[in-house]
Each structure stands twice: as structure tokens, then as C-alpha cells.
Structure 1
């Protein structure tokens, strides 16, 4: 073989190798032909929720050609904090609280530069927080839940029986366990009691750090909560995971009859019992509540952008759109509960003929009556201290909350003095 022939074969082999490499790189970037780049997303959704969200992202990829690298984790706070410190945050993160949105606001892209005006207009102010006080929106609620509700087994109890059940010892199914966030079901209880007893103005002042924890009205809410639990029920709640508490409603011989928990919990009830679950607003079941109140506590998952690219802009606009959210609900497998949304253009009809889900969807649309979960809106250190205090209070209800409230007030005072520490300016519609 001549030198020229050998040279030709070597060159052809090299070119062939490069073609293989380039083909592999292209497949890795796109997941298929016609890729238009990629975008990374971090959120808390795993299990069935994660699977449903991945299906939505697949629909986006099929439509746009943009690949989505999704990471779902129950340790979002730790993962995101680590990635932000390393300078490698995801393009988009879906944060489970406006307080965390405020924590990262300095690193986020204002969404007025990203989302179409018509999309932003479909959300009330409550659902698009401006945590830096400059009016700029840094997150938008792509999923929502109603919290001021109480669940019961409608095959055993009629709604008119609930006030008497609520006042009876031992009738509350409760679980404080929640992995690294244990105690948050207790903070939900206290927040809702305060909202129903004192109204939106007092609740809002407290949630935004303008009202002392030692205020008598805050103490009244804690004592009301403690009075609903005897020592035995309090101990059981401390030893029970929140995901297991409501399952007791449907036992052959249920030890309790009511669960104070957000709308998402229905999806965690045993599938065979889910159709028996119904709810009532908590207003009529909380001692000392204003019976005429229409105030409701809510929570949401807020999509935020760390990196503005053509791909991330397109995905965020998709996630916030009524069309994508309608498809998200409609693609939920039969037998599972559909998600709820804050977008006013998502029709209530996406909940089909579900007589439980539709009233919840309607309540979420009444933004003037709604207040964001108070602890979700607080700085992370305040929120964690609140969760720990709720656990400590249940461990010795007879001792009263005064010492705990004094400690929490010190945390609030310290945080208010810290330069650059961001509290939301409002939490109610």
C-alpha cells in the first residue's frame, strides 16, 4: 500500500471517528433530532407528582424541541443553596414558599422581562410576589393549594355534625412528622387559627414581621390550638407522620374524625377511600373564629428564573400559561387527584365533575379573600424556629406557650436588625 493510500485511510478513519463523536454529542444535547437546546429545572416534585410534571415537560419538549433536564428532590432548600453558592444554580427553580423566593431574589431575573403581559395579568398580586420592595415580580405561582379546610369521611359524618365533633376531645387526626421540616402542620394550625380569630390585618402584620410574637392575640391562637389537643392526642401527633395522620379517618374503627390539612392531602389518602373524603372550611370549627369570615390560608409553588436564555424564557412562559396548566390537570391519570392553579384563565371545569375539587378551585380564584401561608412567607430562620417551637409546645401543652413566644420574638427582632434581610411586604389579597 502506498504512503498516499495509507494517508487516505487514516484520514477517513479520523473523519469517521469525529462523525461518531459529533453524533453522540448531538444526541446527548437533544434527546433526538431537531433539538433547540436545553434548560435545567429544580423542584420538590417526586413520586406521582414528579411523574406528572415530567409528562408536562415531555409535552413541552415535543412541542418546542427544547430538552428539559429535571431534578426533583425533597431536599430542595439544601440542594439549591449549595448550587447557588457554587455559582451553578438551575435555569429555573420551583420554590415551595415565597420566603425562599425572597431569599434568592438578588440572584433572580425579574419576570416582567420574561413573561407576556397577558400571562402576568392572569395572576392576582398574591400569586406573583415582589419580595424586594421595588415592585418587580420574581416568582409566579404555577401550582396552588387551599389550607383553611378540614377533612372528614362523608360516609360516616354529615357536615352539620362537624362543630360538635371538633369540640370533642381526641377527634383531630394530626401528624407533625415531615422529615427535615417536622412541625409545619402545627404552624399551619396556628396560622389558620390566628387568621380566623383576628382577621387578615393582624395576620398580615404578623406574617410580615411587623407584629410581635408576644402580642396577646398570637398567644391566644397558640392556646386555642393547645386546647384542641389533650396530652394523649398531642403525643400521638408528635409520633405520627403527616402523610399517615388522615388515613385514620377511614379505618374500620377510626380513632379520630377530622383532619386539618391542605387540599393536596386528598391525593395521599388510600385510593379506595378517596371518594369518601369531603371537606368543610375551618372557620366554623375553630373556637373564637369570626363566623362571618371568608379569609382562607393558601400555599403555592413559585417558578423563578436564575438564568435568562431563550430556552428558559420559553419554558417559564409555558409553565405559567393556562394552556399548559389545563393540560397538566387533564393528563392526570383517572383515580388520582388533579392539581390546583392560581391562573384565573384555567377553567374550574378542569376538575371535571369532582364535587370536592371544584369548590376548592373556586375558592382559590377568590384572591381577595386569600392569605399566603404565614410561615412560608417568613425568612427561613424564622420559619424553622416556628416549626421547632410548635413541636416543643405539643410536647408539654400544659406548660403554655409564653416562653416559646418570647424566644420566637427574639428571632424576629434579630432578623429585623439584619441588613439586607427581606420580609415580604404583604401576604394577603
Structure 2
């Protein structure tokens, strides 16, 4: 996931490979999925980069996802030139109730043309209804060329690719104010034990160590799952993490209990939260997008959230994200220094309609041209290997991109997003709310274990 969210940017990024489509510009495609846009037409001046997509005067494609507010505005801008050149009107609807409503719409026979699934587990469950279409040839070609096998796997169910990623994120960043850290002489921790020590040190000052929010509309609770997943991976390694996500070990295995208790040592301690907001009880209802903002005022020292949170510091990218800027971030460390294990996420673009215009949009969203367009607008990242890192809005996002592309990185997809929807976006979300509201770790995890389908 997971996230609720101005001049069109030229998409012809130097050095980026052209569309991963079969045939040459001007060929008459025999397979619409090989070269979307069977209606043909001559590209307008300045639209040569979109010629292979064809022209669709007056066509409309509706897309549905979790991206809201300012991030939705940037999303709409990212495909504005594509719309102008192809004639396709991409109508995006964002919803904080996506996880529930996508099932309602599918069951009611009213699915969107495209859905941006923030959870592979949810995608798999909807694929099970028979309503999601396998990725067309052009999307599969882009996925193969521009994403590594790990990311391709997120859009694959039972060996069939249903969609390529849209945006991507590295989770487990801890956001902070460089000036506040410098003024107080606080050092960036290199291990989890050092993070505990730093938290205790900060608590002795007039700054609260952490600000936290689990709120996210119908998806309330997911920020808590990110904490748990990060600690499972860092404390017990990738093998245990994978076994837990696949339910090869019980959800309430002692190692998972230990991980959540370690999280609780930080964010259930009334001395450590909730800077600029209130006490521990406010975490359950504070919107995750607002939760980190007290860092800017020095009311709290740290906020745990993914790389995409860069887009939440301001609506207009006016907050400087830099090592000497208003905010910066370090990765949640491991048990030892220089651990290279991270969690992350991505949206998967899946289709319920195989019309030429829908295939054209789905293919464009899987291209490096779209990735460069959206990333250049700021605040987000893509794992598309055709992305020019120079287009990222900060060194932090460029660092995150290097992490995603580094073969030595132990990358694991967000655990709750990979679990069956009934758990990952169901009992685990509600369980995290119960836990932060006072329920004990063992009972919460045991309840989730009993809910596993």
C-alpha cells in the first residue's frame, strides 16, 4: 500500500528505452495487445512518443485505486500528455475504501476498467472471481524488460501475470529533522538496540521521541502492520519472514510475538508517543498522512513511514527533503550494523476490460515513460529499471531507487499486502487497532491466527 494522496512534463526522457511493443510505428497491428490503439491515426506535432498507442478520439478509461488528495492530483498530471496525444480520457477515482469496495463492484458486475491493487493478496483473491484479465502482451513485455523477477511476481497469480507495478516504495524509513538532531547532538542509530537507546535519550528532553498514526479510513491499522513486518524481517531474517507470510509457521509464533513486543516497547510507551498529537490512545485515530507533520515543528523527533511519505510533507513539494534540509530519513536498522534487509510495496495495475483503449493505458502505465513522468512530479518512486534517477525529487528517493535495484538487497514485499485479503487487509488491520488500543500482543496475534482462511 498503501497511501491515500500542475504543467505537463515532457515524457521523452533521454536514454530511456522506447515502448516495449512489437512492431514499428506505422505498422498495422494484427493483435491489439501487441500494439494498442487499433484505430490508428496520425500523431499530432509533439506526440510522436505516443504514436504506437494509436488515437482514440473521445474514448474514456476509468481507473480505481487508493491514491488520494495531492497525490491523486499528481497522478492525473502524470498522464495528461498521454491523454492529449491519444484522445483517451483517463478518469481516476481514489477511495480510502478501495479494499472493500473493489469486491463490492466486482460482485455487482460494475468493476472499473483498471484497478491499482496495493496488495498482491487482494489481487489474488479478486483474480479468484474470474473477473481480472491476464496482462496483455504489451504489458507483459514491459514487465519482463523493466522489472526484476521479484516485482514481476507481485502481479503474478498461479503462474499468470495480471499486471505490472505502478509506483514502488521502500518501507521502514524513519523520518526526522536534521536540525533538531544536530542541535541535540543525537546520532543516527546503526542497530535496533541503538534506536532503543536514542528513543530513551530523546524522552529525557522536551521533544517526544515518536509521532505515530494508524488511521487510514476503511484501511485503518495498516501503518501498524508495517512496524510489525519491519521488525519480523530485521529480528528474524528473510526465511522466517517468508514462512510467516505464507502461514508456514503460526501467526502467533513466539518470534512474531517478540517482534510486536519490540514495537510496543517504543510506541505503546506513554513516555515515547505521540508528539504534537496526544497520548498513546490517539494513535488509533490519527491519520497516517498527518501523523508525521509534528516533526517539522520539533514536537516529535521521529516518524516511521515509507519512502512515499516524501509526498506528504507538503502539497507543493515546498518542504526540503535533504540531509541538511527540513526533513530527512534513515532506514530502520537491523540487529547488526549495515543490514541490507528492507520491506516495500507497489501497486499492481490490473484490468477488467480488454478494449484497445484500456490496453493502451495499461501498457503506458507499465512503461518507463510513465514512470519518469510521475517521478519527476515529486514525492514517489518506481522500481522500473528504465527510470532516470535524476528525475527523483530528492536524494532520499534516489537512495531508495538504488536499494530497489541493488541485487544485494534482501527485499520482501509488505507482508500484510501479500497475505490473503481476509487477514492482510482484514483481521490484521483491526488487530493492530485493538493492540494499540490496549489489547495484549499474544491475544491479538492468536486472534489473527484463528482467522487465517
TM-score past 0.5 threshold: yes
Residue from 96, 106, 119 that aligns with 1:84: 106
- Is 1:178 aligned to 2:216, yes or no? yes
Q: 1-side partners of 2:339 and 2:312: how far apart?
A: 29
- Find the counterpart in structure 2 of residue 276 from structure 1: 326
How far apart are 1:167 and its partner, in Å? 4.3
- Find the counterpart in structure 2 of residue 403 from structure 1: 443
- Find the counterpart in structure 2 of residue 340 from structure 1: 381
* Richer in helix (by share): 1
How far apart are 1:236 and its partner, in Å? 3.9
TM-score of the superposed pair, with normalisation by structure 1: 0.79
CA contact (8 A) 2:56 2:357 kept: no
Matches within 5 A, 1:142-291: 142-158=166-182, 160-162=187-189, 163=195, 164-168=197-201, 169=203, 170-229=208-267, 230-231=269-270, 233=273, 234-251=280-297, 254-270=298-314, 271-272=318-319, 275-284=325-334, 289-291=335-337
CA contact (8 A) 2:375 2:382 kept: no
- Is 1:51 aligned to 2:54, yes or no? no
TM-score of the superposed pair, with normalisation by structure 2: 0.75
CA contact (8 A) 1:112 1:136 kept: no
Q: 2-side partners of 1:42 and 1:174: how far apart?
A: 28
Matches within 5 A, 1:295-310: 295-310=341-356
Q: 2-side partners of 1:268 and 1:118: how far apart?
A: 29
How far apart are 1:161 and its partner, in Å? 4.4
CA contact (8 A) 1:166 1:258 kept: no
Q: 2-side partners of 1:161 and 1:80: how far apart?
A: 41
- Find the counterpart in structure 1 of residue 363 from structure 2: 317
Unaligned runs of 5+ in 1: 1-32, 416-429
- Is 1:115 aligned to 2:139, yes or no? yes
Matched residue SS, 2:333: helix
Number of residue pairs matched? 367
Cα–Cα, structure 1 residues 56 and 266, in superposed 2: closer, same or farther, change >3 Å? closer
Larger Rg: 1
- Is 1:356 aligned to 2:383, yes or no? no
Cα–Cα, structure 1 residues 108 and 183, in superposed 2: closer, same or farther, change >3 Å? same
Q: 2-side partners of 1:72 and 1:237: how far apart?
A: 24
Matched residue SS, 1:181: coil
- Find the counterpart in structure 2 of residue 328 from structure 1: 374
Q: 2-side partners of 1:34 and 1:406: how far apart?
A: 53
Matched residue SS, 1:151: strand
Bigger CA drift: 188-197 or 163-172?
A: 163-172
Matched residue SS, 2:249: coil
Unaligned runs of 5+ in 2: 1-54, 190-194, 274-279
Q: 1-side partners of 2:354 and 2:364: how far apart?
A: 15
How far apart are 1:76 and its partner, in Å? 1.9
Cα–Cα, structure 1 residues 138 and 213, in superposed 2: closer, same or farther, change >3 Å? same
- Find the counterpart in structure 2 of residue 421 from structure 1: none
CA contact (8 A) 1:174 1:237 kept: yes
How far apart are 1:144 and its partner, in Å? 0.8
How far apart are 1:256 and its partner, in Å? 2.4
How far apart are 1:132 and its partner, in Å? 6.9
Matches within 5 A, 1:379-390: 379-383=420-424, 384-390=426-432
CA contact (8 A) 2:212 2:292 kept: yes
